[in-house]
Structure 1
């Protein structure tokens, strides 16, 4: 269990989904035991809509100690008898971008490099000297941010990415279709026509239909830097591909042991181990975020947009691996076979293996199939 659970798992309220013999099933981990919640709610979205904030999840049907379940990654042969799914189902998958100064700079670098990684180092050095400190110092949407914008425009340094980094409106986009996300131990995909790409390890908040923040999980918002760098209008091709969105391992519900302040203060770690013996390690703090999670949620849901099944929101990445992996000046990019681990003390570890999108298992289990499965199990009741 230590491979993916939070360090204080014995105190945590954890919700997730597993593929059991009957089909996709909402589960909870209580005192180290796995519990089937499907008799109380057929989906995680439905459970969060019914469960009041701070309330204990229903007891559910005891499936025995979690440690007794053979949960292993899919790439270990056929994987274990039990398979963790992404811990959400009918929720919309949204993402906030450019919420950290480092990610703002990297998006501007992509834009100016036009997707050419070999130009990134030179551009990065110049931008760091010119605007790096200024971006960290201003509050988005403030008078000081407007003043900085005017200066950058005058200097010819303005960018559409800086607009969402320090302007009043956050970048919020739809990351992936409902039910397309992969979970712990599954492969994540990069397109075969991308030569400059990286993971985007993030904390992801989980919201109910009223927009109330109910908990958090970990995510990998896989990004194709060369494709988005050629044009921001290619964001969909850079972000939404087969197996390009990973979530998990579980949703940790907010309670006395885990609050939104824990998210604000969380340290997120990234580890990448390549088959070429390459290793990357890094840590960063959510305290560096430029917009509070509450503000980002408020810009996602409201009178202009509703989510009747709830939604999850990637809060943005503080990581941008820039170390040369092979050629000098070539920067970092993924290779097939990379093991990627995103971890945080109170959320556990999300582990995935990189493959090409067309080589990842195709996404075939959609909403219609889920509804048919739930109906056959007599779980769709008013």
Structure 2
């Protein structure tokens, strides 16, 4: 567990979850000590909403890890899982490439060169929703270069979608799933904001918004098939709560690093620098809240700068996952999220849904502590 935590974990406050023999438990890390909060608050959603605890039952020093028979889970439970897309200029260009290539990776290289030359610098130069962005839109329409992806890249409204059902996310160490019929896909290393029921950003963690480029490229209406599949949403390792030493400004300066290690010796590295995001994280939360109510809060993927174009097998075919890939996503103050790649068909089935979770809490006398 210690290899998943940031180097400065002794100065931070963290929330997480584990599966114990009796069922899911809520974890807290503070002062280099691991605590079990479950008897005080039985869900992470409830703990985030409160953010004040008596301490919890001491499990032991962080260096000792989890008790025998416990497995680390995704650090969220009842929160909705939302995501914002096309929040970086590069990702906007890559989405247009997918659209124009109709999901065919072989056509992507030639389209990429043309779009970057004609659109790339222009997108980077404007503030989304500004008068300059509106003028750029009209110019691109006149040139036949407009796209629905450019609308959410530089228009007033961010793209916000539902990534994954409640309780379906997987944590560090678990397999992540890619649809078995996808031939062009990639990891998306992202910062995930944790928002309480009042709409306040309580903290942050890391996420992998596993994406099927071939499906979304064929039609934006296939977004749900491209994004929401068994084991296709990884979050973790822990939620780092904001405090005097770790704030939203630290998130704005965060650089997320990605490493993919293939079973054949392939290696792919990338970064996601939050300083280059087109829309401020606080604005993404505001747009996600909109006219909604989230009584259990939500987790929000902020989008990624990273879009892999490095060839893997054949020149011009770019990157796609293989079963057996090992994906590591890390940030200096958030830790490391590591998952092995399998197919969504072969990944462990999602079995602890809302009903099973509530039944388990009821059997343990914890319903009134949600």
Q: TM-score range by the shorter chain?
A: over 0.9
- d(CA) in 1 for partners of 2:326 and 2:54? 35
- d(CA) in 2 for partners of 1:261 and 1:246? 24
Asked whether the 8 Å contact 2:35–2:58 carries over to 1, the reply is: yes
The corresponding residue for 1:139 is 127
Matched, 1:287 2:275: yes
- Give the number of aligned pairs: 369
- d(CA) in 1 for partners of 2:334 and 2:309? 26
CA apart distance, 1:379 = 1.0
Aligned ranges 1:333-348 → 2 under 5 Å: 333-348=320-335
The corresponding residue for 2:240 is 252
User: What secondary structure, in the 3-state scheme, does the structure 2 residue paired with 1:90 have?
Assistant: coil
Asked whether the 8 Å contact 2:209–2:234 carries over to 1, the reply is: yes
Aligned ranges 1:229-244 → 2 under 5 Å: 229-244=217-232
Aligned ranges 1:39-50 → 2 under 5 Å: 39-50=39-50
- d(CA) in 2 for partners of 1:231 and 1:381? 45
TM-score, L = length of structure 2:
0.98
The corresponding residue for 1:167 is 155
Stretches of structure 1 lacking an aligned partner (at least 5 in a row): 72-79
Among 292, 306, 309, the residue aligned to 1:322: 309
Among 168, 176, 182, the residue aligned to 2:170: 182
- d(CA) in 1 for partners of 2:49 and 2:339? 29
TM-score, L = length of structure 1:
0.95
CA apart distance, 1:150 = 0.3
The corresponding residue for 1:115 is 103
Asked whether the 8 Å contact 1:69–1:82 carries over to 2, the reply is: no
User: What secondary structure, in the 3-state scheme, does the structure 2 residue paired with 1:359 have?
Assistant: coil
- d(CA) in 2 for partners of 1:154 and 1:45? 48
Write out per-residue CA displacement over residues 339-366 of structure 1, whole angstroms, 9 at most, x where no aligned residue: 0000000000000000010100000110
CA apart distance, 1:7 = 1.5
Asked whether the 8 Å contact 1:242–1:357 carries over to 2, the reply is: yes
- d(CA) in 1 for partners of 2:54 and 2:127? 42
Asked whether the 8 Å contact 1:69–1:81 carries over to 2, the reply is: no
Among 319, 327, 337, the residue aligned to 1:350: 337
CA apart distance, 1:68 = 2.0
Stretches of structure 2 lacking an aligned partner (at least 5 in a row): none
CA apart distance, 1:40 = 1.4
